[in-house]
Structure 1
Amino acid sequence: MEEEQHRQDSEAPLLAASKPDGAASSSPPRNRFPFFCAVLASMTSVLMGYNVAVMSGAQIFMAEDLGVSDTQIELLSGAINIYSLVGALLAGWTSDRLGRRLTIVLTNGFFLVGPLIMTLAGGYTALMAGRFISGIGVGYALVIAPIYAAEIAPASSRGLLSSLPEIFINTGVMLSYVSNFAFSALPAHLAWRLMFAAGVVPTVFLAAGVLTMPESPRWLAMKGRLDEAKAVLDRTSDTLADAEQRLLEIEEVVDAGSNGGGSTWNEVATKAGVSRVLATVLALQFFQQASGIDSVVLYGPRVLAMAGVTSNTLLLGLNVLFGVAKAGSILIAMALADRVGRRPLLLVSTGGMTASLLVLGSVFAAFAGAKDDAAVAAVAVAAVVAFVCTFSVGFGPMAWVYSSEILPLRLRGQGAGLGTAMNRVMSGIVTMTFISLYGAITMAGAFYLYAAVAAASFVFIYTCLPETRGRNLEDMEQLFRTK
């Protein structure tokens, strides 16, 4: 009792500081410690976003320096997403065996080696080898950061904390665009190498910082380390009563999994709630990427060049604008996720994506030959900004939040790996076929196709997804069984 009272007294100033003046005593203040843990874990996603998107500007200078073709650019841009399948499928296994924390450290290792190889590459083969190692890191980052954030967070702030990986991915994308712009004035043989090298330095510091975080309490409970799990829950819950309740719910789920007989994958085949959860995760990840977001992320300068923007400096500057708009929109999603819920954000997002893609497609359909028309270029820029903003205000972060929180504990690592694999397959298909696609059906046809996928995702979300805001992770399977 004295130890518990001491803990309450020591945390009182922190909790009091987070409580607004005049707040009702019945509303407990939120604990800030899980926020700091989730931020540190999610910062690996900055490296993921940087390594994926840096090709957007680097490809211009690589083509000039090494003479790589459009086909090779397509492969280098999109292959990282296909290679990430390796990381995505291994991450679930690794996180279940080594723990969430060490898996994040391993992820940083891939982001150290891959970009370093790219920086020193002398030809296409070495470039592809570097993209392969970076791709494994991308798969790991996409799986482990949302899992850790969801498992460390109390229900009251899970939407906010689970959105952090997406905001950091977009921060990485934005920084890669800034890097593209900053190094664009250098000679071609230096410019693209420095763009990749800039992503190497932070990895060591991030890996060291991650080792200061606590391990996921749910992983500790799965390993039978209940005392350690309880200690982490005491530090990451809003109140001691909340910590006790979370521990009881986790223990029930762990006991149910260990006494259920058979494998987790047998449950997928035999339990309606579990199989429906996994199908929902796969569908969400399919729609998120099939709607074409990575075509804009990786080929934004090419799209705008075809809309009439002719200056390389202006193209890279506009790319920075897209990155700022995309990252800034995530802040709206973070602020609203635990207030209005996941489902409204997803519906507004997919509706806005559909509208902006239709406008962008119509610009190319109606003004395909207007190469020097500033008004046409301005409308195209506005449509692209609207697309990246509406994507990031809902579908971008909420697909990961929703997926990480509805998967049962015993399936979370491997299920998240499968969902990420689906996401990366579709991203790879989109990015490795975009140049060929618009060459076959025109730029207008490509964006009309993406608009149709976005509209289908709206219908799927409206008809199939229940709201999860405020629910404990251990309640999700029942929610999907009864809906």
Structure 2
Amino acid sequence: MAGAVIVHHHARYKTYPGEVTGFVFFACLIASVGGCIFGYDIGLTAGLTSTESFLILFFPDIYRQQKEQVIKNQYCKFDSQELSLFGSSLFLSAAAASLFASPMARSFGRKWTLFSAATAYILGAFLGGVSTTFPVLLTGRILLGVGVGLCIHASPLYISEMAPAQHRGMLNILFQFMITVGILSASLTNYWTGKFIGGWGWRVGLAFAAVPGSVIALGSLAIPDTPASLLLRGESEAARLTLQQIRGIGIDEVKQEFDDLVAAAEESKAVTKPWRELLFGGKYKPQLTFALAIPFFQQLTGINVIMFYAPVLFKTMGFRQDASIVSSVITGLVNVFSTFVATMTADKVGRRALFLQGGTQMIISQILVGTFIGLQFGLSGTGAISEQYAMCIVLFVCVYVAGFAWSWGPMGWLIPSEVYPLAVRSQAQSITVAVNMVFTAFIGQIFLTLLCHLRFGLFYFFGAWVLLMTLFIAVLLPETKCVPLEEVAHVWRKHWFWREFMVDTSADARGAEMRKRIALEMS
């Protein structure tokens, strides 16, 4: 059965037979749990850094300063570089691990990379739960970071390579959906364990991280590797059988997609030094630009600041301890349900539409949140927040979170995973993850200092960045919805700006000729 043709932006791209089978959904769901461990750590750390018993044990000086100092400036209550560095340590270890994830994923496959990530993560959760000294706590956190770095490298790649092109957006956004589920689960865990008598509830929260880790570890044993990854390792027959299984159709019906995957794998094998080719070869300038820009911009939306420090942020604005955690639970719920909107619409309205709509919503929300805080506290940071103002701030924070959850949240992981050719896909994903983690750590490290110095202007600062990145998307991002991974290169060649940078190498020519020959044989 010959592949159908879809018309998109006045260009013709192939699509292949096969829908979302129960098996491919299960496989993608297991891989997407990698997002859950990332989100859980973001949400859990937010609770830990405002839990008194945790601070007394590991950061007694900070706790004593908080109790002894009477600071009327609402912007500078919780400014501690040591506490910020603790939060950032996970992301720095994740960035380092992501660089090793590329050769691991290429040599051993996406599946076993996920298994290795889960193993490191479970060990880190165990050490965190039983830790009584800071070195043990930090070791556990570094292992958690290794698990996160490997997982968020392999998970989006696995899902994009397993999913049918016409449903790739929906399935890939499961990863971001699981991030939001992880954040919400951590917020609920913080609220629940915060009521434990004796102050040991934080240990339960840290140990619970082993639950999603175990799901990935056991689940990865039950799912196959992707056909593209199998072909890269020379397992062509296994790749063909896997492709038949995940598409739910016969051998003749998968022939066109399989032949295109073989052609892409042969092109990939011809690239003996993918890192040099990606960074210095000049052939992948558009993809490299987005490998760097998307994660960089994603962190400058300010979302991790709000989710990571939600309890601290709301406490700074005058909320009581319980109320601050409840507020973070509310934003977590908004995050989950709004990401579900992106899951249902990404393959219908397209990536660009979600980016542009969500970006506009985030800009307006940031300006309003900054204005409300500025009107209440001014430049001096003195005063108490009223209940009406508190509700307005929470409302517009939720509007902001919703905008992020159906734009830069899911699209920030989807776009990088689908725009790279197979030859450099793993390497480019390592760059994306490393940049994301480094800037997550950087923003987390400087946020409290920025809040203390920029005051309510910090929200205008992030709003200005969101405006810049929205313009970047509007001008430079081509639409990739429903385009097979092996055809995405043609999208760049047809873009008004990027076509000037696309290099047609001999490998491209061989691949194009092979695809042309296959098409003639099947016509």
Residue type matched to 2:464 in 1?
A: A
Between the aligned partners of 1:314 and 1:394, the Cα distance in structure 2 is: 28
Query: Are the equivalent residues in 2 in contact too, given 1:142–1:420 (CA < 8 A)?
Result: yes
Work out the CA distance in 1 between the residues paired with 2:271 and 2:302.
Answer: 41
Runs (5+) with no aligned partner, structure 1:
5-25
Q: 1:264-303 to 2 correspondence within 5 Å? A: 265-266=276-277, 268-272=279-283, 274-303=284-313
Aligned to 2:412: 399
Q: Which amino acid aligns with 1:344?
A: A
The within-5 A match list for 1:299-378 is: 299-309=309-319, 311-368=320-377, 369-378=382-391
Q: Quick one: which amino acid aligns to residue 258 of structure 2?
A: L
Work out whether residues 19 and 247 of structure 2, in 8 Å CA contact, stay in contact via their aligned partners in 1. Answer: no
Is the CA contact 2:278–2:424 (under 8 Å) kept in the aligned structure 1?
Answer: no
Q: How does 1:160-175 map to 2 (within 5 A)?
A: 160-175=170-185
- Give runs of aligned pairs for residues 166-315 of structure 1, distance below 5 A: 166-187=176-197, 189-237=199-247, 239-240=249-250, 243-259=254-270, 263=274, 265-266=276-277, 268-272=279-283, 274-309=284-319, 311-315=320-324
Distance change in 2, residues 1:89/1:307 (3 Å): same
Structure 1: which amino acid aligns with 2:316?
M
The Cα RMSD (Å) is 2.0
Partner of 1:427: 440
Give the TM-score normalised by the residue count of structure 1.
Answer: 0.90
Alignment of 1:28-177 (within 5 A): 30-61=20-51, 62-66=54-58, 67=60, 69=62, 70-177=80-187
Aligned equivalents of 2:143, 2:93: Cα separation in 1: 8
| Mapped partners of 2:127, 2:271: distance in 1 | 47
1:456 aligns with 2:456: no
Tell whether 2:431 aligns with 1:418.
yes
8 A contact 1:64–1:188 mirrored in 2: no
Q: TM-score, normalised by structure 2?
A: 0.83
The equivalent residue for 1:437 is 450
- Choose the corresponding residue for 2:421, options 384, 397, 408: 408
Structure 2, gaps ≥5 residues long: 2-15, 63-79, 496-523
Inter-partner Cα distance in structure 2 for 1:43 and 1:407: 23
In structure 1, the partner of 2:490 is 478
Q: Percent identity?
A: 24
| Cα displacement string for residues 262-310 of structure 1 (whole angstroms, at most 9, x for unaligned residues) | 64533553344x121111121011100122111111111222223332x
Considering fraction of residues, name the structure with more helix.
1
- Preserved CA contact (<8 Å) 1:115 1:200: yes
Match of 1:161, as an amino acid?
Answer: L
- How far apart, in 1, do the equivalents of 2:247 and 2:276 lie? 31
Aligned-partner Cα distance in 2 for 1:207–1:190: 27
How far apart in 2 are the matches of 1:91 and 1:433? 28
The structural deviation recorded for 1:30 is: 4.0
Residue 94 of structure 2 contacts residue 149 of structure 2 at CA under 8 Å; is this kept in 1? yes
Matched positions, count: 456
